[in-house]
Amino acid sequence: MKSEHRHELKTNELARWLANFPQWAKENRTTIIYVSALVIVVAGLYFWKRYKKNVVSVREQLNLTNLITQLSQSKPQILQAQAQGFDSSYNLLPIADKLAAAAQNTKNNQMAALALIKRAQALRMELHYRLEAAGEREIKAQIDTAKASYTEAINLLSNADSQTPIENRKFKNPSLIATAKFGLGLCEEELGNFEKAEQIYRDIVENAFFEGTTAAAEAKQRLDTMADYRQKVVFKQSPIKSGTKPAPSELMQPQIKLQAPDINKAQPIIRE
């Protein structure tokens, strides 16, 4: 009986509220308008922000994919130009700059890390594909810039600050991290620091977190064949300068393998 009585009271209260609602709405019309307008504005801003975020994200992905494609296509274009006696390796530098800008502008750390890795590869490729050999000071400066780019990519994918030793950090995306670390090893090779390069490769191979990644397999391969190329990397002058047209096999090829990745795969495989 008590529950029925309570239900009846609530029903009566609701009926009275509905009966008085028109008068209440009339008396509080201004307040209702302001509150309704505020709700509409807040909801509109929320949905616009989400829409804009999605649009920006798609635009950033398309831009990065386009830049990676340009970098991938640059290698045969540069070699073709070399066959005609022209040096077009400088075209890699604007791509490197755009990749740096892409990394700076995106809020997605994985996209930024990938852009930084590709930027480092572009800088290294530019040295390898020049017609005229670069000076040692210029080589060191450009390789150091590439190293800084690889290191920044590692920092972006770490859950610790940049002051924490790399071996003490926890990372996201093993494929990108291993690729960046492998790139650091290649940089050390190009500077003639083979002990450092060997240690970097060993760290990759022995870390279970990187197991199954392409970079781990490549690091193991370089460790297994270290004695075969344990010599100073020479950014040599192209045979084209001798005045005779070279055979395709004589075109300047990089000492360190620089192979473009398949950007259509789920996890980027970067081998440069």
Q: CATH top-level class for 30-250?
A: mainly alpha
* pLDDT, the chain, mean: 77
Domain borders along the chain are 30-250
What does the pLDDT average to over 27-42? Answer: 72
**Which of 76-90, 193-207, 243-257 has the largest mean confidence?**
193-207
- The confidence band for 259, taking pLDDT boundaries of 50, 70 and 90, is very low
**49 pLDDT exceeds 70?**
no
Model confidence over 132-173: pLDDT tens digits?
A: 888 889 999 999 999 999 999 999 988 644 455 555 555 678
**Which of 26-35, 40-49, 95-104, 221-230 has the largest mean confidence?**
95-104
Per residue, the 3-state secondary structure of the chain, as one string, reads CHHHHHHHHHHHHHHHHHHHHHHHHHHCHHHHHHHHHHHHHHHHHHHHHHHHHHHHHHHHHHHHHHHHHHHHHHHHHHHHHHHCCCCCHHHHHHHHHHHHHHHHHCCCHHHHHHHHHHHHHHHHHHHHCCCCCCCHHHHHHHHHHHHHHHHHHHHHCECCCCCCCHHHCCECCHHHHHHHHHHHHHHHHHCCCHHHHHHHHHHHHHCHHHCCCHHHHHHHHHHHCHHHCCCCCCCCCCHHHHCCCCCHHHCCCCCCCCCCCCCCCCCCCCCC
**248 pLDDT exceeds 60?**
no
Instruction: Give the per-residue pLDDT at 189.
Output: 92
